[in-house]
Amino acid sequence: MTTVIDIPHSLDEHSFEQVLEQVAPLPPDAKMLLDARHTTWASPYGLGALLTLGQTRGEARATLAVPENDDTTSYWARANFFHYADELFDLKGVVPKRGARGDSQVLLELTPIAKSEDVHGAVDRIQERTQQIIGKELGLDPKAIVGFAMTLSEVCQNILEHAGRGGWVMVQTYNWTKRLGRRVVVIAVCDAGVGFRSSLETAGNHVPSDRWDDAAALEAAVIRGVSRFRDPGRGQGLAGVRKYIGRWGGKLSVRSGTSRIAIVPDWDDDLPLEENLPNFPGAQIQVTIPERVAR
């Protein structure tokens, strides 16, 4: 029997939870049809997480019914989604050929990150385009451009250091009218690796407390900069990301296992910590930097 999983009309870090709620109760080898026919919009997080979901199915390859809306499939193609989805899903519906690059909104198409040189490639490509977007369209100080590339590098390295398998990164700018009424630039990094809790448990000095779970692991790694390595220089990457988003009024959210932690700026009303979410392997990170407005 095939279970149909409804993909929301608008797929982002919050609505993706609806997907996981449907998938979580199913056995790993269950046959699934992900029905995205009515999906009209997806954030970088939504697209990355969808690929990650496909990665978790292994032998039990799921079917993905692609969006019916031409604009949507065209955008997903420009974002390279179908290029990677084809390796992970049986695609059903009309899949456009890979679109030409040049979508001004997509700063970095879905890009696999599995080794150090992939991060170099992503950082070099993003630097070519952020000058225009961050400096001119988002009105941020030129210093924010370098910091943005550093942030991208560090969140991608989370995959190299902790995931144990490859993941994806995507960067996009869009007008976030619903929540903010301003333009934002978003980095999404998704992997289906071991996740923060398992990673930290491999630390030689790890002593599980009574309250050791995914939320505690996220607090340790994201807030306190704890790393599985004994090297005292470790853990600076996410600390640097926190500093960057603090300086530019941004938002950081990290989901791993059954929990999600967020550094929430005053323009957002997200929860700082969510627990008991449906289990999802690996780590999914989103960084959001908003347009600067004159006060």
- Contacts to another protein by CB under 8 A: 116-117, 119-121, 123-124, 127, 143, 146-147, 149-150, 153-154, 157, 160-161, 232-234, 236-237, 239-240, 243
Cα of 166 vs its chain's centroid, Å: 13
Q: Are strands 10-11 and 41-42 parallel, antiparallel or unpaired?
A: parallel
The 280-290 sheet, strands edge to edge: 106-113, 167-176, 182-191, 280-290, 251-257, 259-263, 273-274
Output the smallest distance, CB 59 to another protein, in A: 31
Please, what sign has the CA dihedral across residues 150, 153, 155, 160? negative
Nearer of residues 43 and 158 to another protein, judged by Cβ: 158
Measured distance CA(44)–CA(67) in Å, rounded: 16
∠ CA 225-231-234, rounded to 5°: 30
Output the smallest distance, CB 24 to another protein, in A: 33
| HSE-CB for 249 with a 13 A CA cutoff | 15
Output the smallest distance, CB 33 to another protein, in A: 39
Decide if 167 contacts 191 (C-beta within 8 A). yes
Nearer of residues 139 and 225 to another protein, judged by Cβ: 225
Output the smallest distance, CB 25 to another protein, in A: 39
- Going by C-alpha positions, the residue among 59, 58, 57 that lies closest to residue 34 is 57
Nearer of residues 66 and 134 to another protein, judged by Cβ: 134
Nearer of residues 151 and 286 to another protein, judged by Cβ: 151
Output the smallest distance, CB 203 to another protein, in A: 17
Nearer of residues 89 and 244 to another protein, judged by Cβ: 244
∠ CA 54-107-137, rounded to 5°: 140
Nearer of residues 160 and 220 to another protein, judged by Cβ: 160
| HSE-CB for 166 with a 13 A CA cutoff | 15
CA trace torsion 82, 87, 88, 94 (10° rounding)? 40
Nearer of residues 96 and 166 to another protein, judged by Cβ: 166
Nearer of residues 30 and 239 to another protein, judged by Cβ: 239
Output the smallest distance, CB 196 to another protein, in A: 17
Distance (Å) of CA 201 to CA 198, 215, 235: 5, 13, 15
Output the smallest distance, CB 237 to another protein, in A: 5
Output the smallest distance, CB 180 to another protein, in A: 26
